[in-house]
């Protein structure tokens, strides 16, 4: 698997779509700080992790189908 987060999230999103997963919780993610990323496979990743200066292996993320993200006003668009 690549070390580039964009490539890894795309791979995860393709697998989630393959198994028709609506929402997935991911642990031990390497993302730093907080953020979100929409990928072409139809998912948006929301994450929280360690500050950039610290070891980044204890973060977590949620992958949510974009059509669900669009229907939940509590999530950033």
Asked whether residue 56 is domain-assigned, the answer is yes
Asked whether residue 19 is domain-assigned, the answer is yes
User: If residue 68 lies in a helix (H) or strand (E), which one and from where to where?
Assistant: helix 66-69
Distance between CA 36 and CA 5 in Å, rounded?
12
Read off the pLDDT of residues 14-68 as tens digits, 9 standing for 90 and up: 999 999 999 999 998 888 888 899 888 899 999 988 887 776 677 899 999 999 9
Asked whether residue 76 is domain-assigned, the answer is no
Distance between CA 64 and CA 23 in Å, rounded?
5
Question: What confidence score (pLDDT) does residue 74 get?
Answer: 84
Question: If pLDDT is split at 50, 70 and 90, which confidence band does 6 have?
Answer: low
Distance between CA 47 and CA 61 in Å, rounded?
4
Q: How many domains does the chain have?
A: 1
Look up residue 52 and give its two tokens. Answer: 């950039």
Whether the per-residue pLDDT at 10 is higher than 80: the answer is yes
Asked whether residue 20 is domain-assigned, the answer is yes
Question: What confidence score (pLDDT) does residue 68 get?
Answer: 94
For the residues 2-22, what does the mean pLDDT come to? 85
Asked whether residue 38 is domain-assigned, the answer is yes
Asked whether residue 74 is domain-assigned, the answer is no
Give the range of the structural domain holding residue 22, as residue numbers without chain letter: 5-69
């Amino acid at each position: 698997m690549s070390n580039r987060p964009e490539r890894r999230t795309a791979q995860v999103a393709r697998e989630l779509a393959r198994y028709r997963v609506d929402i997935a919780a991911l642990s031990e993610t390497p993302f730093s700080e907080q953020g979100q990323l929409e990928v072409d496979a139809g998912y948006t990743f929301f994450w929280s992790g360690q500050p950039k200066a610290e070891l980044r292996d204890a973060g977590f993320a949620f992958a949510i189908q974009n059509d669900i993200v669009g229907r939940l006003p509590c999530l950033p668009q």
